[in-house]
Amino acid sequence: MTFMVEDFADTTAAEVDATVDAAASAAGAWAARELADRARVLDGIADRLDAHAGELVPLAMRETHLPQPRLTGELKRTSFQLRLFAQQVRDGGFLDVRIDGADAEWPMGAPRPDLRRMNIPLGPVLNFAASNFPFAFSVAGGDTASALAAGCPVIVKANPGHPALSRAVGALVAEAIAECDAPQGTFGLIFGRAAGVRALTHPGVAAVAFTGSTAGGRALYDLACARPVPIPFYGELGSINPVFVTADAARSRAGDIASGLLTAVSSSAGQLCTKPGLVAVPEGAPVLAELIGAAPVPTGELLNEQIAAGFAGAVEHMRAHPDVRVLAGGSAGQALLLTTTARAVLGDRDGLMREMFGPATLVVTYQDTAELLELARSLHGELTVSVFAEQADDTTRALLAAASGVAGRVLWNAWPTGVSVTYAQQHGGPYPATTAPATTSVGTAAMTRFLRPVAFQSVPEDLLPPPLRTANPLDVPRSVNGARPQ
């Protein structure tokens, strides 16, 4: 494997401070821009990404080794995502406006004053870009789009795996911001681990978004909590995205499930946060024979040397376990299927429920339904849990109940890869899947991470922010006296 990552100088401490100071200075003006202007900047970034796809995709291919169709699709998803957030900004529902009229007879026992509440931006957001989605979770990805949409300046700490692409996309973001006369400090880009840590501990930063490893994410989370003024840390860390295959499904759809699993494990060389890393099937099920008999699946090169080293280490750890053996694959450039028993996993949860970030999965055989359910009830926090089954019965009800208890998304007869950007999406989950289980980093609800409510009590009309004025000049949805938003 060879890697061609250009050398980019780390941002110096003084440059980091200047970048954060600029973001802090820009925060008021960016927050105060009309919603239509804010939406125009997001659309402007999307238009530029699309217009420059011909240069950006080859650059991404060179830096990440991901194939062209995947990157072309990812860029399209990224510009779509920016435009979806622009729509959300124009709609104004994210402001969550609530208006209580004054009420002398309020049954609390004291008169209710006039109270009007709306969400405002938190302030500068530091976004640690991910390695595995050089467009969708990087410089102009979901965290940047949702933070800008919320009205926050953004400082991106570039992922070291694609620095040239980061610079190129960063220049397009800066251009879209300049075109709309937004303050320059609304967007900043920094490079290097030390630069990221310095920004994280800078008083000017108000919130952090992170996508990456559990170890790296936890270290940054700890720093965010230990600040004199702690700040919200929205970290997406590790997930093994368990898949539970019932005996019925394993029997009647062995071929489909085996081929679906191989695709989910090997696409993008397995470097997806929702790659299934643990698949429970019944002992002796036909699906095992299908997996052993399948043609080896080529996976392509890993993203970069650091990822490759991390994957090799994770596989080595797993293979060294006395109860783990190779089921199929695993030659150079092939997906690897390891296998063990449910009993072994239940006996060593921390050792065997462990992410291998790359094209490998652990096929876990269970003896009976009781063991399947015990396994499902022993999970850590997960982004996703999938159930493959033929019917609704006590077992599948129990599996879905266990799944929703630990995961942000629960799937039925579907693979968790290919996270759709929609209104109802939930890409999050209990720790260690994320450090903030009530939030999502994909879908329109991602904006809420970067907002906080303010209530205005008895403030005269002409001093209220426009969304709170009685006439509702921006026509945003509002809940009045507790009624459903109109």
Catalytic residues: 236, 273
- The sign one gets for the Cα dihedral 284, 287, 290, 294 is negative
Rg (CA), the chain: 24
> CB of 269 within 8 A of CB of 300?
yes
Asked if 202 is part of the footprint of its own copies (rule: CB under 8 A), the reply reads: no
Binding mask 118-137 for its own copies (x = CB under 8 A): --x-x---------------
Q: Where are the beta strands (DSSP E) in 342-450?
A: 360-366, 382-388, 407-412
Asked if 473 is part of the footprint of its own copies (rule: CB under 8 A), the reply reads: no
Please, what is the minimum distance in Å from the beta carbon of residue 206 to its own copies? 8
Residues between 364 and 393 that touch its own copies (CB under 8 A)? 381, 392
- The sign one gets for the Cα dihedral 298, 302, 305, 309 is negative
Instruction: Name which position in 396, 441, 447, 467 contacts its own copies (CB under 8 A).
Output: 396
Please, what is the minimum distance in Å from the beta carbon of residue 169 to its own copies? 18
Asked if 394 is part of the footprint of its own copies (rule: CB under 8 A), the reply reads: no
Binding mask 81-120 for its own copies (x = CB under 8 A): x-----------x----xxx-----xxxxx-xx-xxx--x
Stretch that binds its own copies, among 179-187, 275-283, 301-309, 412-420 (CB under 8 A): 412-420
Please, what is the minimum distance in Å from the beta carbon of residue 371 to its own copies? 20
Asked if 263 is part of the footprint of its own copies (rule: CB under 8 A), the reply reads: no
Nearer to its own copies, 127 or 339 (CB): 127
Asked if 49 is part of the footprint of its own copies (rule: CB under 8 A), the reply reads: no
List own/partner pairs for 453-460 with CB under 8 A and 24 or more apart.
453/96, 453/117, 453/118, 453/119, 453/120, 454/117, 454/118, 454/119, 454/120, 455/115, 455/116, 455/117, 456/115, 456/116, 456/117, 457/113, 457/114, 457/115, 458/102, 458/113, 458/114, 459/116
Asked if 453 is part of the footprint of its own copies (rule: CB under 8 A), the reply reads: yes
Asked if 30 is part of the footprint of its own copies (rule: CB under 8 A), the reply reads: no
Distances (CA, A) of 467 to 86, 92, 115, 122, 418: 17, 9, 13, 18, 36
Nearer to its own copies, 178 or 459 (CB): 459
Cα angle 316-322-328, degrees, rounded to a multiple of 5: 60
Asked if 45 is part of the footprint of its own copies (rule: CB under 8 A), the reply reads: no
Instruction: Name which position in 459, 469, 472, 474 contacts its own copies (CB under 8 A).
Output: 459
Please, what is the minimum distance in Å from the beta carbon of residue 429 to its own copies? 8
Nearer to its own copies, 322 or 460 (CB): 460
Asked if 466 is part of the footprint of its own copies (rule: CB under 8 A), the reply reads: no
Asked if 144 is part of the footprint of its own copies (rule: CB under 8 A), the reply reads: no
Please, what is the minimum distance in Å from the beta carbon of residue 88 to its own copies? 8
Distance, in Å, from the CA atom of 81 to the CA atom of 288, rounded to the nearest integer, reads 39
Give the number of residues in contact with its own copies, rule: CB under 8 A. Answer: 84
Distance, in Å, from the CA atom of 185 to the CA atom of 30, rounded to the nearest integer, reads 9
Asked if 400 is part of the footprint of its own copies (rule: CB under 8 A), the reply reads: yes
- Secondary structure element (H or E) that encloses residue 25, with its range: helix 13-32
H-helix segments, 267-340: 286-293, 305-319
> CB of 41 within 8 A of CB of 148?
yes
Question: Cis (ω within 30 of 0) for the bond into 111?
Answer: no
- The sign one gets for the Cα dihedral 63, 69, 74, 79 is positive
Residues between 419 and 438 that touch its own copies (CB under 8 A)? 420-426, 428, 430-432, 435-438
Nearer to its own copies, 194 or 411 (CB): 411
Q: Which of 60, 3, 84 is nearest to 268 (CA)?
A: 60
Asked if 477 is part of the footprint of its own copies (rule: CB under 8 A), the reply reads: yes
Nearer to its own copies, 322 or 482 (CB): 482
Distance, in Å, from the CA atom of 57 to the CA atom of 66, rounded to the nearest integer, reads 10
Instruction: Name which position in 26, 129, 407, 446 contacts its own copies (CB under 8 A).
Output: 407
Nearer to its own copies, 220 or 338 (CB): 220
Binding mask 219-238 for its own copies (x = CB under 8 A): --xx--xx--xx-x------
Asked if 211 is part of the footprint of its own copies (rule: CB under 8 A), the reply reads: no
Nearer to its own copies, 138 or 444 (CB): 444
Please, what is the minimum distance in Å from the beta carbon of residue 401 to its own copies? 7
Instruction: Name which position in 413, 469, 472, 474 contacts its own copies (CB under 8 A).
Output: 413
Please, what is the minimum distance in Å from the beta carbon of residue 402 to its own copies? 10
Residue tagged 């406006």 (tokens): 97
Q: Which of 271, 268, 265 is nearest to 306 (CA)?
A: 271
Task: Determine phi and psi for 75, rounding to 5 degrees.
Answer: -65, -40
Asked if 36 is part of the footprint of its own copies (rule: CB under 8 A), the reply reads: no
Please, what is the minimum distance in Å from the beta carbon of residue 374 to its own copies? 16
Distances (CA, A) of 274 to 73, 282, 328, 411, 428: 17, 23, 21, 12, 11
Question: What SS3 class is residue 423?
Answer: coil
